[in-house]
Structure 1
Amino acid sequence: MSEYDHEPTRGLPEALPEDEHIIWQGKPEWKKLAATALHIRLAVLYFALIAGVSLMRSDANTAAAMVVFAVVVTGFLVLFAYGVDRTTVYTLTNKRIVLRIGVALNKCINIPLSEIDTANLKTLPGGSGSIVLTLKGLPRMGYLMLWPHARSLRIVRPQPMLRAIPDAARVARLLFNAAREVQPVAPIAQAPVTVDEPELEGLAA
């Protein structure tokens, strides 16, 4: 028996109203998540540099310790990414986005499409990518509550993300079209991107 067996529909805490329907459901690709959100390659590089410097100084014990730390940390990050893959469900309906997230503590976050100010697409190799959401007047969500489904370093005003999803460009179009139906006068606009993330492609493009 799973903790999600009570869900009337996968990824949703309750049955949808009659006027609401699912447009798309998905989840992160754990390998891409590990590389982009958890920065696993940077962690390996960090330990490799320390081990290399230690060997240059003939400090074999420190170098060996760094190798062990690298294996342990990498293993933990891989397991965590896999756990996120197994427990996360992103749902787009004609009314909202629902994030069912949490490896240890499960939670569902509802984001009405009417509250989305901007949405930007960051493409990754192989057609996958992440969609960053900027919200209007919703109460602020805690960064730790959202992570890793939040844009890096946006701690004071966190920006939810659909992280490392397959066929991200198609999902971005679905989101744009659904939001345009809810916000016909002011559809989702392209937001400027700052330096901590590579340039994102706006949904309106």
Structure 2
Amino acid sequence: MPKDHHDDFATEPVRGLPEALPTGEEILWQGQPAWWQLARESLSFWWVAGYFAFLFAWRTVAGAATQSWVESATAASFFLVLGAIVLALLALVSFVQAKATVYTITNKRVAMRIGAALTMTLNLPFRKLANAELGLRRNGTGTIALELMEDDGARLSYVLTWPHVRPWKMKHTQPALRCIPEAEKVARILAEAAETAVSVPVIETVPAARPVAAE
């Protein structure tokens, strides 16, 4: 590796996790969003492309009333150039977001290392999850949204965790494994691990009460 190479996540003891796994915990799956699918879904790539195409067409038709079609289209081509720049930026943002993200499923929790500029790791134990819902696409990619227990008291910021959230669920933010390949397979892994983890009883150790001395 070149000496000038710098890995922002080189300090991670385990890829995608801020600390080493406790005894008895093991990684069942790790993955990242498909960046192109992320651009299409979270950044509305094709809607933005359609918007600039509409501006070009509208300016061309409007200008044709006083100019030739060629002159009008040439003048309106500004919108195509601007649109290409915006779409390139959206693709870049999506690519960087996807490469900076690591989703992890263990036999005890879901962990999400997210954020390109402001990196954070969400640790979501299975016992804190009320439900999980899979949204599957025809190409096999999909999003697994995680509904948190409402009585847990934990509240996630929709803005800080975007785009790794279920869209438009702002009051009760649902973290999500967005645009992951082979989503159906991953959902099965998650379901089996959660079912096994939740069925294991939790034994808490509490200090024994002191006996009351007889008077």
> Aligned residue for 1:192?
none
1:91 has 2:96 as partner: no
1:13 has 2:18 as partner: yes
Task: For 1:158 and 1:76, locate their aligned partners in 2 and report how far apart those are by CA, in whole Å.
Answer: 27
Q: With the length of structure 2 as denominator, give the TM-score of the two structures.
A: 0.82
How many angstroms does 1:153 deviate by?
1.2
Change (3 A) 1:62 1:175: farther
How many angstroms does 1:60 deviate by?
4.9
Q: With the length of structure 1 as denominator, give the TM-score of the two structures.
A: 0.86
Residues 128-137 or 58-67, more deviating: 58-67
How many angstroms does 1:126 deviate by?
1.9
Aligned residues: 185
Segments of structure 1 that go 5 or more residues without pairing to the other structure are 186-205
How many angstroms does 1:68 deviate by?
2.3
Tell me if structure 2 keeps the 8 A contact 1:115–1:138. no
1:110 has 2:123 as partner: yes
SS in 1 for 2:174: coil
Matches within 5 A, 1:131-150: 131-136=144-149, 137-150=152-165
How many angstroms does 1:138 deviate by?
4.7
> Aligned residue for 1:201?
none
> Aligned residue for 1:158?
173
Task: For 1:16 and 1:53, locate their aligned partners in 2 and report how far apart those are by CA, in whole Å.
Answer: 58
Moved over 3 A (4+): 59-62
**Percent identity of paired positions between Structure 1 and Structure 2:** 38
Task: For 1:62 and 1:85, locate their aligned partners in 2 and report how far apart those are by CA, in whole Å.
Answer: 37
> Aligned residue for 2:84?
71
Change (3 A) 1:138 1:124: farther
How many angstroms does 1:182 deviate by?
2.2
Segments of structure 2 that go 5 or more residues without pairing to the other structure are 1-5, 64-71, 201-215
> Aligned residue for 1:36?
41
> Aligned residue for 2:69?
none
| Residue identity in the other structure for 1:128 | T
Task: For 2:48 and 2:14, locate their aligned partners in 1 and report how far apart those are by CA, in whole Å.
Answer: 38
Q: CA deviation digits over 1:7-58, x for unaligned, max 9?
A: 0110010000011110100000001111111110000001111111111101
Q: CA deviation digits over 1:154-188, x for unaligned, max 9?
A: 12221111011011001000110111112239xxx
Task: For 1:6 and 1:56, locate their aligned partners in 2 and report how far apart those are by CA, in whole Å.
Answer: 57
Larger Cα-atom Rg: 2
Q: CA deviation digits over 1:68-113, x for unaligned, max 9?
A: 2211210111001110121100000111111101111111111111
Aligned-pair Cα RMSD in Å: 1.5
